[in-house]
């Protein structure tokens, strides 16, 4: 079965600083910090209510629909630039052609900006755990800062950044 297409994305998103090589300032993206049990539980709850439908209960992905998040995100979550990419995809979604683990996906992940900053930070901690990392890749304050960025990143800019931070 070929790639599946989705509809209903938020439009008009520009991660120029990251894609232009500016990177995420070190102060804006600290190393993984310990995640509280409450944050891990909330991250698993949000993931189970929203992300599971496409990415699977354990982040294993769904062939032809959505890439795996468990495993492939580990290198991205281990770098400041990669954490910035993951955070911005959560906030703004991602559409267009991507390749992950040898599979091509042509679809769209909707923005999850309707969630509170604390919830998105908790999802980050859950994603880190799914990738064998302990800690939270970003804080609620970092989510709020990324949410306020103007212009917001385009999906094209996010795909370009993905090519830099994903294996």
What are 34-66's pLDDT values in tens digits? 899 999 999 999 999 999 999 999 999 999 999
β-partners of residue 107 are: 96
**Using 50, 70 and 90 to split pLDDT, how confident is the model at 31?**
low
Per-residue model confidence (pLDDT) at position 167: 73
Summary mean pLDDT of the chain? 83
Per-residue model confidence (pLDDT) at position 134: 85
Report yes or no on 73 lying in a domain: yes
As a whole number of Å, the CA-based R_g of the chain is: 14
Q: Is the pLDDT of residue 158 over 70?
A: yes
Instruction: Annotate the chain with three-state secondary structure.
Output: CCCCCCCCCCCCCCCHHHHCCCCCCHHHCCCCECCCHHHHHHHHHHHHHHHHHHHCCCCCCECCCECCCCCCCHHHHCCHHHHHHHHHHHHHCEEEEEEECCEEEEEEECCCCCCCHHHHHHHHHHHHHHCCCCCECCCHHHHHHHHHCCCCCCHHHHHHHHHHHCC
Report yes or no on 52 lying in a domain: yes
Provide the domain count of the chain: 1
Report yes or no on 10 lying in a domain: no
- CATH code for the domain in which residue 146 is found: 1.10.760.10
Q: Find all residues with CB under 8 Å of 113, minimum gap 6, and list them.
A: 10, 91, 92, 147
Name the token pair of 138.
């970003």
Does this model's pTM top 0.75? My answer is yes
Structural domain including 107 reads 33-165
Query: For residue 135, is it left (φ>0), alpha (ψ between -120 and 50) or beta?
Result: left
- Residues 63-113 have pLDDT tens digits of 999 999 999 999 999 899 999 999 999 999 999 999 999 999 998 999 999
Report yes or no on 115 lying in a domain: yes
Report yes or no on 42 lying in a domain: yes
């Amino acid at each position: 079965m070929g790639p599946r297409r989705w509809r209903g994305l938020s439009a008009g998103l520009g991660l120029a600083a990251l894609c232009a090589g500016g990177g995420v300032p070190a102060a804006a993206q600290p190393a993984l910090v310990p995640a509280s049990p409450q944050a891990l539980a909330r991250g698993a709850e949000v993931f189970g209510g929203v992300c599971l439908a496409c990415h699977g209960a354990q982040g294993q992905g769904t062939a032809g629909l959505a890439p795996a998040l468990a495993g492939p995100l580990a290198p991205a979550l281990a770098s400041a630039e990669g954490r910035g990419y993951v955070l911005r995809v959560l906030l703004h979604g991602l559409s267009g052609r991507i390749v992950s683990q040898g599979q091509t996906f042509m679809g769209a992940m909707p923005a999850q900006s309707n969630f509170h900053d604390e919830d998105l930070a908790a999802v980050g901690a859950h994603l880190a755990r799914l990738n064998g990392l302990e800690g939270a890749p970003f804080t609620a304050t970092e989510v709020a800062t990324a949410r306020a960025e103007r212009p917001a990143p385009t999906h094209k800019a996010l795909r370009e950044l993905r090519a830099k931070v994903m294996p």
